[in-house]
Structure 1
Amino acid sequence: MYPYQTVIFDLDGTLLDTLQDLADSTNYALSVHRMPARTLEEVRTFVGNGVGRLIHLAVPEGTPAEEEAACLADFRAHYLLNMENKTAPYPGVPALLEHLQAAGIRTAVVSNKFDGAVKGLCQNYFGDRLPVAIGESQGVARKPAPDTVFRALAELGAEPAGAVYVGDSDVDIATAQNAGLPCISVSWGFRDAGFLSAHGARQIVGSPAELEALLLSPAAVSQ
């Protein structure tokens, strides 16, 4: 028996390195509106709470709401056409998902990225290794609310008992807590181990191989 029968993953910074494409689309939208570009490291600090929040933080303070909304629309349109230019799975992630599938462990993704992008990226990079992928959509509260986690569990036909949440940010830690799930934080993504520890992470892994050993070890003890 493995320690968990279901694993719910975050997407950006956990399974896929999407930072450069997010930054490129952010700066494209900013340029359309003659706003200053943002550095890659600035964009890294902006991601995690959905693209609306990303653009809100990227535009200059005091930007009128209607112009911010237009900038967001330009970001979305550009990103949908360019979200696979530089994005790639983190090394070891495809093998991790393949081995979880072979072990009979159910997997899903929940993300604050808009739903169309989440489903497209998961299908293109992971196929049936991630049968459920849920992003931000109208009528469903985004993380750290637990709604998308509960929807993923329902679509998998899984119970919260025996499930674990895996993510790379403080938002993910809060999401797991709100859903009543244990959380495994990963330090290879958009936030480092120090940041995660400072925001309440109780279990941190440094590589997909380390995560795989934890998830597939019968001797592992859930926390």
Structure 2
Amino acid sequence: MNPRENGHGDGSGARRAALFDVDGTLVDTNYLHAVTWWEAFRQTGHTVPMWRIHHTIGMSSDRLVDHLLGEDRDRSQDDRIRSTHTALYATYFTRLQALEGAADLLRAVADRGRHIVLASSASEDELAAMRAAIGADELTADALSSDDVGTGKPAPDLVERALERAGVPPEDAVFVGDTVWDVKAARKAGVPCVALLSGGVPHEVLADAGAAEIYQSPADLLANLDRSALAH
């Protein structure tokens, strides 16, 4: 049997999992999100600096708006802000680019016996577009989006659902992400987080959040896979 089919490729018999964020981790989208959120805020009369928006990428959309506009705001425009961002970002769907080494990393992790689950704060439609960009459908069938949980990152709900989907306890999983919110969500769920710099978050910020390991990109993690947490 192909090890990619059962997650037991190391011969140990113990099921292990690799849980992957997608935006900024496997697909180069974080700055597209920053631009389209900036425009969505602008169209609804809000001036929000793009650097602040970038720092919130990886949060669920409701938490992102709360963080940037404050929880005591007039919420009458919230649906318009989110729908404007959704429409603007959708114009990029056919042009999304996987980060170098993304598909090869997934294949290498699967070959080492880990069951792969995507755990993304993106909507189902956005996640489908990113899966198409990665081009490794045989490895990304187990995929969770923001539509699958009530509360998004940095709450642990999405990571916990991914653990359920994989059928493993936290100690038998590793989460791979690129933002502080990924690290915090994983740690709250009891899962170590391997962080990538490909989303634009500085090394020291990810380290301070509690990332177990930090690599430049999917390609860098792939090159160092045998000495990473994913090899154990």
TM-score band w.r.t. shorter chain: 0.7 to 0.9
Moved more, 192-201 or 132-141: 132-141
Gaps spanning 5+ residues in structure 1: where? none
Deviation at 1:188?
Answer: 2.6
2:112 and 2:231 in contact (8 A); partners too: no
Tell me the SS of whatever aligns to 2:104: helix
* Corresponding residue of 2:188: 178
Cα 1:158–1:44 change in 2 (3 A) is: same
- The 3 A distance-change label for structure 1 pair 26 and 85 is farther
Q: Does 1:8 align with 2:12?
A: no
Aligned to 1:207: 217
- What residue identity is the alignment partner of 1:99? A
Task: State the TM-score, normalizing by the size of structure 2.
Answer: 0.77
Q: Kindly state the Cα deviation for residue 164 of structure 1 after the two structures are TM-superposed.
A: 0.6
Q: What letter is aligned with 1:109? A: L
Distance 1:184 1:78 in 2: 31
Percent of aligned pairs with the same amino acid = 25
Q: Does 1:82 align with 2:91?
A: yes
The CA distance in 2 between the partners of 1:220 and 1:77, in whole Å, is 36
Tell me by how many angstroms 1:91 deviates: 1.3
User: Is 1:114 matched up with 2:123?
Assistant: yes
Deviation at 1:191, TM superposition (A): 0.8
Aligned length, in residue pairs: 220
**CA deviations over 1:101-159 (Å, ceiling 9, x no partner):** 34442111112223332244224433222122212127533223332223223323444
Distance apart, 1:30 and its partner CA: 3.0
Gaps of 5+ in 2: 1-9
Aligned: 1:46 with 2:46 = no
Higher-helix-fraction structure? 2
Report which stretch shifted further, 130-139 or 5-14.
130-139
Aligned pairs for 1:212-223 (under 5 A) are 212-216=222-226, 222=232
Query: Does the C-alpha gap of structure 1 residues 97 and 2 become closer, same or farther in structure 2, counting only changes over 3 Å?
Result: farther
Counterpart Cα distance in 2 of 1:184 and 1:178: 14
What per-residue deviation string (whole Å, max 9, x for no partner) do you get for residues 167-208 of structure 1? 112222222222112221222323111111222223212232
Deviations 1:65-111 (A, max 9, x none): 102332222222332x3242653222121211122234442111112
1:7: how far off? 0.7
Indicate which of 142, 147, 153 corresponds to 2:157: 147
- 1:162 aligns with 172
1:64 maps to amino acid: D
Tell me how far apart the structure 2 counterparts of residues 220 and 26 of structure 1 sit (CA, whole Å). 33
What residue in structure 2 maps to residue 26 of structure 1?
37
Per the alignment, residue 145 of structure 2 pairs with 135
Could you tell me which residue of structure 2 aligns to residue 197 of structure 1? 207
Residue pair 1:30, 1:59 contacting (<8 A) in 2 also: no
1:117 partner letter:
E
Tell me how far apart the structure 2 counterparts of residues 56 and 221 of structure 1 sit (CA, whole Å): 38
Distance 1:210 1:142, change over 3 A: same
Q: Per-residue deviation at 1:166?
A: 1.1
Would you tell me which structure has more strand in proportion to its own residues? 1
TM-score, normalized by length of structure 1? 0.80
Once the two structures are overlaid, the 10-residue window that deviates more, 13-22 or 98-107, is 98-107
